[in-house]
Amino acid sequence: MPFNPEYRNESEVESKLIVQYLLPQLGYSPDSWYQEVAFGSIRLDFLAFAAQAVPFVLDANSPLSVVMEAKHPDQNLNNHVRRLKRYLTNLNVQYGLLTNGKEIRIFERIKDDIRLVFKCSGKEVNARIEDIKALIGRDNLKAIGTQRPLEVQQPQPNVVNTQKSSNLSSETKRQHSVKTIAVYHNKGGVGKTTIVVNLAAALRKKGKKVLVIDLDSQANTTFATGLIKFDDEEFDNIKDSNVLHVLQSEDSSPIQEVARESQFNNPEIDIIPSHITLMRYEQELNQLADIKIMLSEKLQAVEKEYDVVIFDTPPALGLFSEIALTTADYLIIPSDLKPFANQGLVNVKDFIKRIDRFRKIISKPQIKILGVLPCKISTNSKFVQSTLPKRIEIVSKRYGFNVMGTVIYEREDLAKSTEKTLFIGDLELPDPRSVLDFKPDSTSAHEFELLAIEVSQKTGME
């Protein structure tokens, strides 16, 4: 395999990955790329042009160009995104490739900002080289350059999605189709609620209209989104209007009446809260003939009001998890990848099969599994370099699930964001924030931004 993810240092990443493999594969001849290029205080590892440009000037009329930055294999790429942004925006460069030999990320400049348009691991680069060519291959950029002038050039619509969405049904390609995503694992304590609320926040900040539905009687999502502001159950303002009431009758409590605007994130997100009393009604609800499709039918009335609906689920194989997985089109399985969580994937797989049998009966396609999402992962360097890749491989080989590309690590900022409080008189009340609002420049916030990008690409939201 030309791409060796075990490179020992930055020099090997530069010489073996970029010079010997990527540049030739992407069609850049020696006279179209330059190494260690300096512009004032900015020093670029590599600069490649779609058209030969000697001498070259980087301005609005320059040929489409690509910056390639190589880092040591032990370097976290998240720490270098801001610098790459400065390079692209200051120098009017259209694309930037960032790699440490274990992972490749490609960013596109959009005015004074950049966005991630491609990401893959080192092991995938051979299989994904055509996707990379479609973005920054020299012939492709030449074609783009002849189609429209650079000074008015806009981001290519759905460049990545065109590659990744070819197997999706026509339904996912409609002009507006609400995406419904369940976040489920039957093992508790794997970070499910953290994923739900911060993924919702990240998607909302990308301009998506988001509804979160809490189907867990423990109401962790309801708490984490700041809807529980009472210190005494006498002032409980949720018990009379929550997800239970949505499920109890098809004639009452429509979505728009029960949904509440939460200010745990800016912009706000709509939440259908849960309540501890939900568990008392599971047997009663199970007797309703259409209980498993009730939520789907009620969501139809508001499908044009939202771009994405995310379901938090209980860590169980019961009714409320069945409702979520019957209603949702996509599934994320959060996991800390520890042995018990991995063993629980057997139950998850059997549960999905059971759900899909019912979906077939009601003429609904099988749920699409976006993958197992590594979360609550230790940041210990030895663990990340040695143990984590083995655990990811186990999930794929032993349990047959794909693992998502984003990893959510266990960090202090993520924990503190949910612990914020406010004082009203003598009362100290919870006032949680999404990590993207609590500390927007943190690594945790950036990880959820990457997760939102990955989810958007895989569901066709981009």
Q: What is the 3-state secondary structure (H, E, C) of 359-411?
A: HHHCCCCCCEEEEEEEEEECCCHHHHHHHHHHHHHHHHHHHCCCECCCCEECC
Residue 281, judged by CB atoms within 10 A of its CB (0-12, 13-18, 19+), counts as middle
Q: Distances from the Cα of 225 to the Cαs of 220, 234, 368, 399, 415, in angstroms?
A: 9, 21, 27, 33, 14
Residue 222, phi then psi, degrees to nearest 5 = -60, -40
pLDDT band at 169 (very low <50, low <70, confident <90, very high): very low
Q: Across 40-187, where does the E strand assignment appear?
A: 42-49, 65-70, 95-99, 103-110, 113-121, 179-183
Convert the pLDDT of each residue in 92-109 to its tens digit. 888 999 999 999 999 999
Per-residue pLDDT averaged across 245-260, rounded? 87
234-243, 283-292, 294-303, 316-325: least confidently modelled range: 234-243
Q: Which of 214, 176, 124 is nearest to 307 (CA)?
A: 176
Position 164 pLDDT exceeds 60: no
pLDDT band at 53 (very low <50, low <70, confident <90, very high): very low
Per-residue pLDDT averaged across 390-415, rounded? 92
273 and 227 Cβ atoms separated by less than 8 Å:
yes
What lies within 8 Å, CB to CB, of 251 at 6+ separation is none
Per DSSP, 431 falls in state -
Mind giving me the DSSP string for 128-145? Answer: HHHHHHHHH-HHHHHHHH
Convert the pLDDT of each residue in 74-86 to its tens digit. 888 988 888 899 8
pLDDT band at 57 (very low <50, low <70, confident <90, very high): low
Per-residue pLDDT averaged across 395-401, rounded? 93
Per-residue pLDDT averaged across 404-413, rounded? 92
Position 163 pLDDT exceeds 70: no
Quick one: what percent of the chain has pLDDT higher than 70? 84
286 and 186 Cβ atoms separated by less than 8 Å:
no
- pLDDT value of residue 5: 59
Position 437 pLDDT exceeds 60: yes
pLDDT band at 235 (very low <50, low <70, confident <90, very high): low
Whether the model pTM is above 0.85: no
- pLDDT value of residue 172: 32
- pLDDT value of residue 91: 83
- pLDDT value of residue 140: 85
pLDDT averaged over every residue in the chain: 84
* Domains delineated in the chain: 10-164 (3.90.1570), 170-459 (3.40.50.300)
